[in-house]
Amino acid sequence: MGLVNHVFSEDSLKKLYVSNLGIGHTRYSTSGVSVLDNCQPFVVETLHGKIAVAHNGELTNAMRLRRKLMRHGVGLSTSSDSELITQLLAFTPPLEQDDTPDWVARYYREVMPGEIVKISRYDVQTLDIVPRPQGDPAAFCIFEYVYFARPDSIFEGQMVYSVRRRCGQQLAIEAPVEADLVSTVPESATPAALGYAQKCGLPYIEVLCKNRYVGRTFIQPNMRLRQLGVAKKFGVLSDNFRGKRVVLIDDSIVRGNTISPIIKLLRESGAKEVHIRVASPPIKFPCYMGINIPTKEELIANRPEFKDLAGYIGADSVVYLSVDGLVSSVQESIKARQDHENNLKTNKFKSGKIGHCTACLVGKYPVELEW
């Protein structure tokens, strides 16, 4: 377990040359602990051959599925909910033959919400497409745009960097402030900071230097590790902001672990004022779909300190992007492209509806939770 370049050596990668297909991804622990038994992909021997599954997310009905499999005599060797998918696939026949090329070396299209795609040396098949209840729109995770995805990722046909920049521009409209410069908590907030600076007409200047050998603090599995990560993560570029009013853009404030020590660091290094602008709304509800937000109590937006958050974290002011502002920033390009494709009648997979999961913001979950 660890970083890809730590786990896979050049010699181990050479052994993959004899294969014709590969599967892999990067993830952090949600259901199931971080032990070798839970490492992916999971491989199951079936009458049809081996099935391997790599999965990042969380099944909201995992306990019911686990009981169902065990009643059928299926032994489970790990505590990960992802193993359940592997075992269930062993019973799932193909439902549809998709007329697609037999190569996977370059981008063809995104996997649709609820779609399971089988890729073999012979063809590409859609095994199943899980329908949304009552014909509801898809529920892409909006937090992918806020934090998790790399800025150069293509998600729903648009670059994540562009969405984050639009969030920054919208934030500047909703929450302007008198200041001398705009900066960022690197690195996922950088596009939003650039958008904010452009819209406000203020210079964008870096004030923090990130230690690239410290992982992302949000995805550490417990509070103690997150706090230790923050302490080692940032240095200051004091010559860039001494005696100046700083607008610091962050992508999100979930638990409040990171931002308070950063503000203290900036003030001790000479910042005259520090105004926090957050390029996403307050996270108020836990996620049961795979993001590591397990309880309401650990969310800063639900704690008494949130009533005076600026005072609590040591900032001169704090303003979040609105939910409507985030959703419009995410959907602006999608709607424009969908309208264009509908006019050309070229959108093979159109559903007619656009949807994003905002459960962590508003408490409305896209599926019924089973516990």
Q: What is the pLDDT along the chain (371 residues), one digit of tens a residue?
A: 677 777 777 787 777 767 777 777 776 655 555 666 667 777 777 666 777 777 776 777 778 888 887 777 676 767 677 777 777 766 554 444 445 444 435 567 778 777 888 877 788 888 777 777 777 777 888 999 998 888 998 888 899 999 999 999 999 999 999 999 999 988 889 999 999 999 999 999 999 988 776 554 444 445 554 445 555 678 889 999 999 999 999 999 988 877 888 999 999 999 999 999 999 999 999 988 877 776 888 899 999 999 999 999 999 999 999 999 999 999 998 877 766 555 555 444 444 456 899 999 999 988 777 75
Cβ pair 208, 236 in contact under 8 A: yes
The pLDDT assigned to 371 comes to 58
Same domain, 167 and 315: yes
Same domain, 84 and 151: no
Asked whether residue 355 is assigned to any structural domain, the reply reads no
CATH number at residue 226: 3.40.50.2020
Backbone angle region of 157, left / alpha / beta, with phi > 0 → left and psi within -120 to 50 → alpha: left
For residue 213, give every residue at least 6 positions away whose Cβ sits within 8 Å of its Cβ, in sequence order, or none. Answer: none
Same domain, 311 and 176: yes
Q: Which residues of 13-52 are buried (b: 16+ CB within 10 A; e: fewer)?
A: eeeeeeeeeeeeeeebebbbeeeeebebebebeeeeeebe
Number of domains the chain is built from = 2
The residue with tokens 């073999």 is 120
For residue 248, give every residue at least 6 positions away whose Cβ sits within 8 Å of its Cβ, in sequence order, or none. Answer: 183, 184, 185, 207, 262, 263, 266, 274, 275, 276, 277
Compute how many other C-beta atoms are within 10 angstroms of the C-beta atom of residue 99: 6
| DSSP type of residue 88 | H
pTM: 0.70
Asked whether residue 148 is assigned to any structural domain, the reply reads yes
Same domain, 150 and 56: no
Asked whether residue 340 is assigned to any structural domain, the reply reads no
The domain in which residue 206 lies consists of 142-324
Same domain, 224 and 316: yes
The residue with tokens 């998918």 is 85
Asked whether residue 209 is assigned to any structural domain, the reply reads yes
Q: How far is CA 1 from CA 36, 61, 221, in A?
A: 7, 27, 14
